[in-house]
Amino acid sequence: MTSVRDFGARGDGKTDDAQAIQHAIQKSDGVVHFSRGDYLVTRALQLPLQSAGPIGIDGSLGTARIIMAGAGPAINLVGTHRRTADPTHFTDDFWRRERMPTVQNIEIVGRHPQADGIRIDGVMQPTINRVLIRKCRHGIHLANRNRNVLISDCHIYDNTGIGIFLDCVNLHQINIHGCHISYCKQAGIKVVASEIRNIQICSNDIEYNYDAKLTDCADVYFDCREGTVREGTLVGNTVQARESPGGANVRLVGAKDNANAVGMFTITGNLLGSQARTIDLHSCRGVVITGNSMYNGYRHSLWAENAEHIVIGSNSIDHNSDYKGNSTDQIVMRNCRNVTMTGLILQHIRSAVDPVTSSIELRGCQNVNLTSIQILGARTRGIALENCQVIRIADSTIRGAVGNNGFRTPISVNEQCANVIVANCFLARGTDGVFELPAARGVATGNVVV
């Protein structure tokens, strides 16, 4: 190990240690070690891997702290890799000098409005483990081109920008695992204008990443209006926040004229809730949403627009009894096609935040199967179809709350719909009656009034 104190770093929280630490990095042939202390720096600590060689940063099991009092990243990992992760795209010299730079066991605290935690650019196998980053702008900032990124067991907490920011980056293979990412005001994890393949977000606690003064916040946000994100998972996480204007727990946004920009993505086994929208999909393709517990979508539990090839199955949509207040939890799909929705339970217990016309609204949709769905305490209408084609509703139960005079009908189909089948459902009588489907719009068969 190379101790930064051997090169004059004081670690007293007052002396600018940037020059001493940079000297230690330049002279190190292995681990740059920070013993317990507060290391004030006013400029980025540069780790140019081609010249520094294989290198690691270690902070003595978290007892060392870097205080970034200048603009930019406290630690800047810079590599030269500009190709793919194919083994033939690497030289022996690259493996000697640049593979797997590691930052571990250290705290980074911002003391400047533009201070960031760690920046990664052109690096193969960067490994960030057991790091605390707080009071910065962005926690971990990935830019330009990187490959095979591991971020695990980190605390990314109370930052003004984004916790983990994939910013105009070309990146294949990134695993984010076992982290606490919370109270980052713009987003917990955000992708902007990037090309991403194979992104795995697993077993994290991603919470309260919002700002009540900002619009469009989200805990997990893929903005692919420019760029693409495909082949990924959001699995086994807790993702929750508080309501913010236009906020969402999970938001995937593609290009309006290209549903392929974001998708081939699975959202499974998560706890999601306490935002304006729980899941917000725009111009996506190949998204699978299953096995989640979704609660307190204050405006909508799920909003999908201009989406294609969407599978929604076996989710619980409920409320958290620990939290007071109303919750709408409505599902809205607009101009979507080739959708399967099955095994859902929507249990509306709380009053809605805003007046709603239906628990599930489909408008301008095609080729949609809704099967084995329970809507209990339905809002005004259970399922409302407007301007839809080739819709099948089967084997489902739709009931209003007991004594709710505002429940009008379990299913409504407007005159612009065609080729609708409603079969083998339990349907409750509303103030407008049960359900009638004129032959010109479709077929109703085998349904029972309950």
Report the relative pairing of strands 389-394 and 366-371 from DSSP bridges.
Answer: parallel
47 within a domain of the structure (yes/no): yes
46 within a domain of the structure (yes/no): yes
- pLDDT above 90 covers a percentage of the chain that reads 82
Among the listed residues 101, 286, 99, 261, the one whose alpha carbon sits nearest the alpha carbon of residue 196: 261
Count of other CB atoms within 10 angstroms of residue 99: 18
pLDDT over 90 (residue 181): yes
The residues pairing with 102 across neighbouring beta strands, listed in sequence order, are 56, 127
Side chain identity, residue 59: G
Name, in order, each residue with C-beta under 8 angstroms of 331's C-beta and a sequence gap of 6 or more: 300, 301, 302, 303, 317, 346, 359, 360, 361
| Residue 442, pLDDT score | 92
| Residue 84, pLDDT score | 82
| Residue 325, pLDDT score | 82
Name, in order, each residue with C-beta under 8 angstroms of 73's C-beta and a sequence gap of 6 or more: 44, 115, 116, 117, 118, 119, 141
pLDDT band at 322 (very low <50, low <70, confident <90, very high): confident
How many distinct structural domains can be found in the chain?
A: 1
Q: What is the C-alpha to C-alpha distance for residues 248 and 69, in angstroms, rounded to an integer?
A: 32
CB 183 within 8 A of CB 157: yes
30 within a domain of the structure (yes/no): yes
pLDDT over 80 (residue 349): no
Residue 108 in tokens: 């980074």
- For range 331-348, the mean pLDDT: 96
| Residue 353, pLDDT score | 85
117 within a domain of the structure (yes/no): yes
The residues pairing with 399 across neighbouring beta strands, listed in sequence order, are 376
Instruction: Indicate the pTM of the whole model.
Output: 0.95
Residue pLDDT, tens place only, 382-408: 999 999 999 999 999 999 987 778 899
Residue pLDDT, tens place only, 270-296: 999 999 999 999 999 999 999 999 999
209 within a domain of the structure (yes/no): no
Q: What is the C-alpha to C-alpha distance for residues 37 and 12, in angstroms, rounded to an integer?
A: 6
| Residue 89, pLDDT score | 86
Among the listed residues 197, 281, 298, the one whose alpha carbon sits nearest the alpha carbon of residue 243: 298
> Max Cα separation, the chain?
86
pLDDT over 90 (residue 58): yes
Residue 242 in tokens: 């508080």
| Residue 306, pLDDT score | 96
Q: Exposed/middle/buried for 445, CB within 10 Å: 0-12, 13-18, 19+?
A: exposed
122 within a domain of the structure (yes/no): yes
| Residue 382, pLDDT score | 95
Q: Reduced to 3 states, what is the DSSP secondary structure of residue 167? A: strand
| Residue 256, pLDDT score | 83
- For range 404-420, the mean pLDDT: 92
| Residue 152: domain span | 1-184
64 within a domain of the structure (yes/no): yes
Per DSSP, 258 falls in state B
Least reliable range by pLDDT among 79-83, 340-344, 371-375: 79-83
pLDDT over 90 (residue 83): no
End-to-end CA distance of the chain: 74
| Residue 208, pLDDT score | 97
Residue pLDDT, tens place only, 194-252: 999 999 999 999 999 999 999 999 999 999 999 999 999 999 999 999 999 999 999 99
CB 210 within 8 A of CB 239: no
Rounded mean pLDDT of the chain? 94
| Residue 90, pLDDT score | 83
- Alpha helices, DSSP H, located in 205-301: none
Q: What is the C-alpha to C-alpha distance for residues 196 and 342, in angstroms, rounded to an integer?
A: 30
13 within a domain of the structure (yes/no): yes
Torsional class of 309: left (φ above 0), alpha (ψ -120 to 50), beta (otherwise) = left
Report CA-CA distances (Å) from 341 to 22, 229, 273, 345, 409: 56, 23, 20, 11, 20
CATH code of the domain covering residue 133: 2.160.20.10
Least reliable range by pLDDT among 87-96, 263-272, 358-367: 87-96
Higher per-residue pLDDT: 324 or 426: 426
Q: What is the C-alpha to C-alpha distance for residues 274 and 276, in angstroms, rounded to an integer?
A: 7
- For range 309-329, the mean pLDDT: 89
Report CA-CA distances (Å) from 151 to 103, 109, 181, 310, 313: 10, 18, 11, 29, 30
- For range 22-43, the mean pLDDT: 94
Q: What is the C-alpha to C-alpha distance for residues 409 and 8, in angstroms, rounded to an integer?
A: 77
Report CA-CA distances (Å) from 26 to 29, 44, 54, 68, 121: 8, 14, 12, 20, 19
Cα-trace Rg, the chain: 26
| Residue 338, pLDDT score | 98
Per DSSP, 292 falls in state -
pLDDT over 90 (residue 82): no
Residue 418 in tokens: 């065609």
Higher per-residue pLDDT: 17 or 80: 17
- For range 262-269, the mean pLDDT: 97
- Alpha helices, DSSP H, located in 3-139: 18-27, 49-52, 92-97
